[in-house]
Each structure stands twice: as C-alpha cells, then as structure tokens.
Copies of this chain bind each other. A is one copy, B any other.
C-alpha cells in the first residue's frame, strides 16, 4: 500500500510554488514579461564565466572516469580542500579538509546537520520569519521544529520569547542569516548575545546545543552591513552553505556542511554525515560541478543587481506608506501588508499582475515577501502596478 503520510503531503502544496505556477499560467495569457512575478527565489544573474570555462576545460582535457567517477563519501577532495582554504582566508577560521562535507545544496546540508546532532523527539528551535521547508527538513529527520515568534520591529532575534522556549530537549538552534524571507542580516550584537545565552544553557542542561547555521545568502550582503561569520562566535556550529545563490547554480545542487574545528566531537561529524547519506539515498553531489567549483572557489556571479533592485523597491514601498525593515542582504524584502490578512492582500495584488507571497507560511502574519531576483528593468515597470494596486485597493 502506498504511504498515507506522503500521500497526505501532496494535498498541501507550497504557497510559493502555487503562486509561481499561477504566474507562469498568467504569463501564457498576457506575456510573462508583463507578470511582475516576485514569487520564487531563483537567481536571475548568469553564472561566473570562469565557472563555465572551467567546466568546458575539464570536459575537453580530463579523463572521463576522473571527471564522472564516484566521489569519496564526504565529497571530492579538491572541492573540500578549496572550500576549507577559502573559509579560512576569508573568515579567519582553521578548517581542515576533514571538516568539510559536500552536500546537495543547503537542503542536503541541513538534512545532514540535523541528523548529526539530534535524536528522534529532540527539539530544534528556529526564529520567525523562517523558510517553511525547515518543517520537512527537521520533522522528517525525527526531531521537532519549534518556531520562536518574530521580533517584527527589526527582524533580529526575539530573545524574550526565545528564552521562554529554551528547555532541556533543545539540541539545536537553526538560524538563517542573511534571512529568507526578511532580507535581514543578524548583527554581531545579536550573534554574540545568542552565543552567550547558548553557552550558559549548555552548562545548565549539561549537554551541547548546536547552532545549525543555514547560510545560502552569505555572499549577498549589501554595502555597509555588519555580516558576522556565525561559527566565529560559537564553537558548536555546523555551517550549512550552498553555491546556488552565489554562483547562480541552484539546479546543480552543490553545498557543504563546515564543522567548526573546536566543536564537540568535531572529528566525528563528517564521518557521521557519510553514514547519514547511506540512509537518505543522497550519496554525494554531482562530480563535475564539484571539480569545477573547486577551481573558481572565490568567484561569484555579479550579485550587485540585487542591491540595485532592493533600493528601488525599498524606496517605492516606503514612499507608498508600507512599513518595511530595510534588507541587509539576500534578494528578498518583507514589508507589512496593508491589511491584516496577508493572503487576501496577495490575492488582490494578482489583479495588478503583482505576485506577492503572503507571510503566513513563514511563521508571521500580516506581511508579504517579494523575491526581487528579476531584471531591474522589470522592477522599474512593476512600480506603476504597485502604485495602482495600493491606490485602488487601500
């Protein structure tokens, strides 16, 4: 018999994906260029040309059994070494190759990290607003995800609510900065306070509390913004990264877990990840992309368009009277809706071909997310629609 658990999940499709499907369908009627589709976080800029060149050169010059053969369980050694060196140079860390485990994007990284540091029934806390896929990532690993209410004034951490929710069953804190959907970057002050609190609670409870730091937007940080490297502040940190956004390769599914060399049982985490893969059927990201990324490890796509788009939208939204915390990074902005019911708000916006994601599935009510990974020209064209929408409906 088919699994009732997964059958039931089919009928609760993602709000984001449903809006994206709507936008595509609407595009067939009026031309997709006329749909102001702010639904999906799909990078809009080309990959670094050096990455394409590296792939072509590898294909033209290297033996195919090397290029496409099995990677060792923890990933390709060149990719792991290049990753460790790059992190050490940029963030003053001391990673060895053995602290890096290559994964299928940040999704694969979080899936491994949570299985490393929880057993079934343990709690993992995260902070609203949060990426809704954390629910299956954590709950299907057997742990229980609990969401700390948002601090809506700045979208930093709501420490009061957090402290109330901390208890002995909490084994990991899942954070995401720069944040999807708010676009906010946690400040050094926030991270320091978080780290101090967790160290105190570790002593109190007599067990480690790991930070699982989900960092796919790490390279998309805007001018002048304080963007601390989390693991630098707290030893028991597993950093989960993806090259999806920084190199615009989300389809290639490449990321890693970087294990802080000073974390508890640091030398066991990567070997444990290898064991975890055996049960999930994941078994390493693809080989060619690992080899190519290793060659151009510090390159990124031209990410400046995201800051350009953010500034245009932030200006217009605040001019129109939206309450909005200015994003420090990512390609998301998260303004307050003009009515309490964000779903109704988003539904009305569709009349103006504006595709806005209501905040409910991010764990906050009354806001909406715009993913501005679209052409700047289209962002400009969307402003008129935004104005019409606000003036006609509110």
Residues of A participating in the B interface, judged by any CB pair closer than 8 Å? 1-7, 9-10, 40, 42-47, 52, 55-56, 59-60, 63-65, 67-71, 103-105, 107-112, 115-119, 133, 136-137, 139-141, 171, 207-208, 248-254, 264-265, 268-269, 271-272, 274-276, 278-289
Nearest chain B CB to A145's CB is how many angstroms away? 12
Which residues of B have CB within 8 Å of A276?
6
Q: Considering the complex of A and B, which 5 residue pairs feature the smallest CB-CB distances, nearest first?
A: A111-B281, A140-B279, A251-B287, A286-B286, A136-B278
Contact B268 A68 (CB under 8 A): no
Q: Are B47 and A64 in contact (CB under 8 A)?
A: yes
Known A55-B59, A276-B6; contact A281-B65, beta-carbon cutoff 8 A:
no
Could you tell me the distance in whole angstroms from the C-beta of A107 to the nearest C-beta in chain B? Answer: 4
Contact of A248 among B46, B64, B283, B288 (CB under 8 A): B64
The distance in angstroms between the C-alpha atoms of A45 and B64, with both chains bound, is: 9
Q: Could you name 21 residue pairs across A and B whose Cβ atoms are closer than 8 Å? A: A1-B264, A2-B116, A2-B208, A2-B264, A2-B268, A2-B272, A3-B115, A7-B265, A9-B275, A55-B288, A56-B56, A56-B59, A67-B251, A68-B250, A70-B251, A103-B281, A104-B104, A104-B283, A141-B279, A252-B286, A252-B287
Closest B residue to A53 by CB, please name it.
B59
| Alpha-carbon distance A45/B111, docked complex (angstroms) | 34
B69 touches A250 (CB 8 A): yes
**Which chain B positions have C-beta within 8 A of A208?**
1-2
Given known contacts A2-B117, A3-B116, A67-B251, what 7 new A-B pairs fall within 8 Å (CB)? A1-B264, A4-B119, A9-B272, A68-B248, A104-B281, A105-B281, A112-B281
Contacts A43-B65, A46-B65 hold; do A10 and B275 have CB atoms under 8 A apart? yes
A168 CB → nearest B CB, Å: 11
Whether the pair A251, B116 counts as a contact (CB closer than 8 A) is no
Nearest CB on B from A230, distance (A): 19
Give the contacting residue for A278; candidates B2, B67, B133, B285; CB below 8 A.
B133
Report whether B1 and A171 are in contact in the complex, using a CB–CB cutoff of 8 Å: yes
CB atoms of A251 and B46 under 8 A apart: no
- Complex Cα distance, B271 from A10, in Å, reads 6
A69 — nearest CB in chain B belongs to which residue?
B251
In the complex, what residues of B have CB within 8 A of residue A71's CB? 251
With a CB–CB cut-off of 8 A, which chain B residues contact A111? 279-282
A46 to B46, CA, bound (A): 31
B45, B64, B141, B248: the one within 8 Å of A52 (CB): B64
A283 touches B43 (CB 8 A): no
| A282 lies within 8 A of B279 (CB) | no
